[in-house]
A and B are shown apart, each in its own frame.
Chain A
Amino acid sequence: MKAKVHITLKPGVLDPQGTAIGHALGTLGFEGVSGVRQGKFSEFELAETDRERAQAEVRQMCERLLANTVIENYTIDLV
């Protein structure tokens, strides 16, 4: 099973990178872009075959390492 994890800044947490990317997109001529938020993406293979156990395991990985839950949210996709 493959896990795909998206890590994004919580709403309300200032994202200067996202703001800078938004400005750069404007400079390139892409108009009407707003609310750019920069995040992280991780993917990895799991030996676990049970979906529920895999979900619980990846959630632990997010809580303990992959995300800093003070500032970040995460979503997990298993494929």
Chain B
Amino acid sequence: MKTAVVVFPGSNCDRDVAVAVEEIFGTKPIMLWHRETALPKIDLVILPGGFSYGDYLRSGAMAAQSPIMQAVKAKAAGGLPVLGICNGFQILTEAGLLPGALMRNRGLKFINRVVTTRVETSQSIYTSRYEAGQVVSIPIAHADGCYYADNATLDRLEAQGQVAFRYVDAAGNATEAANPNGSARNIAGLFNETKTVLGYMPHPERVVDPLFGGTDGRPLFESLIGALS
């Protein structure tokens, strides 16, 4: 299984995700600089967390226009799986690969803590090793994580089963108090229509080893091995 991790100026979770990929997939990912114009033959692209281009203009806005993203968009249209984590999710919405937008957190502050999110479906290449309804503890670290889309879009996303993860309390309820950033309908993770693209605000790559306080992110990567190799 071949994976590429895109590195933008200001990415800072690229190495974390590379370590997780290497440990779980058993192969080192290819690190691709943002100026590259073509993708090698791969099974998965990961857009890592960080502050690409210093979050200038809007988080993810500059990265979405980078040369490598034009290649990623073209391949994603052909069905290549693309996983965007945190800033990667912001880039996916800015690039038009996922609907909606990620805006400043409701409380205006950068939030860095472990949250609980609920897996909405196990019917995807990213979530098959989770149970639907399972509550997983994954850290968030972002200032612009408030998911916004108009109501018609939200209804369509729900109807098409595109909501991948929601912020919930420990019991699995999507309450206002469990919503760290004000995201519409507690959305923490979102699929495209074909469920080949996933954007997820929390950082599953940070919880793949018990030494770092948890392993709830591991099944996401294990699902991908099962589906893609």
Which residues on A are within 8 Å of B, measured CB to CB?
Answer: 13-14, 16-17, 20, 40, 64-66, 68, 70-71
Closest to A13 in B: B148
Partner of A14, one of B61, B65, B94, B182: B182
Q: Which of the residues B107, B149, B182 comes within 8 Å of A70, measured between beta carbons?
A: B149
Q: Which residues of the partner chain B approach A71 to less than 8 Å between Cβ atoms? A: 101, 103, 148
Interface residues of B in 45-104 (CB under 8 A from A): 57-58, 61, 65, 93-94, 99-101, 103-104
Among B100, B107, B108, B148, the most chain A Cβ lie within 10 Å of the Cβ of B148
Say whether A65 contacts B106, CB under 8 Å: no
Which residue of chain A is the closest to B109 with respect to CB atoms?
A16
In whole angstroms, what is the CA distance A66 to B61 when docked?
9
Indicate which residue in B65, B93, B101, B104 contacts A16 across the interface (CB closer than 8 Å): B104
Known contacts: A70-B100, A70-B101. The answer to whether A20 contacts B108 by CB under 8 A is yes
**B96 vs chain A, min Cβ distance (A):** 9
Report the nearest A residue to B184, measured CB to CB. Answer: A14
Interface string of B136-160 (1 = CB under 8 A from A): 0000000000101100000000000
| B105 neighbours in A (Cβ, 8 Å) | 16
Closest to B149 in A: A70
Q: Which residues of B contact A14 (CB under 8 A)?
A: 103, 106, 146, 148, 182
Smallest CB-CB separation from B100: which chain A residue?
A: A70
* Contact across chains for A68 and B106 when beta carbons are under 8 A apart: no
Q: Which residues of A contact B146 (CB under 8 A)?
A: 14
Check A17 against B104 for contact (C-beta < 8 Å): yes
Chain A residues closer than 8 Å to B58, beta-carbon distance:
68
Bound CA–CA A64/B61 (angstroms): 10
Q: Which 9 A-B pairs have the closest CB atoms?
A: A70-B101, A71-B101, A16-B108, A68-B101, A16-B106, A68-B58, A71-B148, A16-B104, A20-B108
